Amino acid sequence: MFTGLIQALGTMKPLGGDSWQITCVSQSSVIMQDLAYGDSVAVDGVCLTVEEILKDGFIATASPETLRRTTLGSEQTQQRYVNLEASLRVGSKLGGHFVMGHVDGIGRLLGAEQTATSWEMTFTAPEAIARYIVPKGSIAVNGISLTVAAYEPELSQFTVAVIPLTYAETNLRYLVPGSWVNLEGDILGKYVEKFLFHGKNSDKVATDTTLDALTPAFLTEHGYL
């Protein structure tokens, strides 16, 4: 589990072979301070396992399935920096939101505009991720915890306001219109969807429960005070 607060930038390249090994070289000692064999590291929002520790980075393997479902296998990604974050430690500060490192879909940057206080960046939102997007909710873009400033479902796109620090310290500044990004929806929204439409219902909860049925009285009746 991660927080979406990027700790370092790195570079990556395939090492060849069927395993599609990827070398990620950290540019910050934060990642390397207590990195251990078997640890999880988010690489552009994709959870990978450390298989070998190098002097200035580590080696991990991305399966063919991971490469198909994320941007890690694209030449575009391999030619620029990737965002790195070590897994959340018990007792660590949670400054972003819970990010699992399981990418829901790939989006595309439509445009970025600098304002007086931030960068407003607009991305496409495929159906696999769109249903979890809500205004002022959380979304992970290339592993970065961001807040949705606006969502336009009819256009399948959303906008985030990126503060200057985040823009300067992550690979967002290297994106250009058309760049692909990894997207992960808020895990809380996924569980709500599961409980409402796919989960097992108790004797008191009808199987046809819908969002319209989520009234204050309903929540109180079922233990949510």
For 155-194, how does the pLDDT look when each residue is reduced to its tens digit (9 = 90+)?
Answer: 999 999 999 999 999 999 999 999 999 999 988 877 777 7
CATH of 8-86, one of 2.40.30.20, 3.40.1360.10, 3.40.50.850, 3.20.20.80: 2.40.30.20
Rounded to a whole number of angstroms, the distance between the first and last alpha carbons of the chain is 28
Q: Where are the domains of the chain?
A: 8-86, 189-221
CB < 8 Å & 24+ apart, contacts of 14-17: 14/78, 15/59
18 — pLDDT class (breaks 50, 70, 90): very low
Tell me if the pTM is above 0.85: no
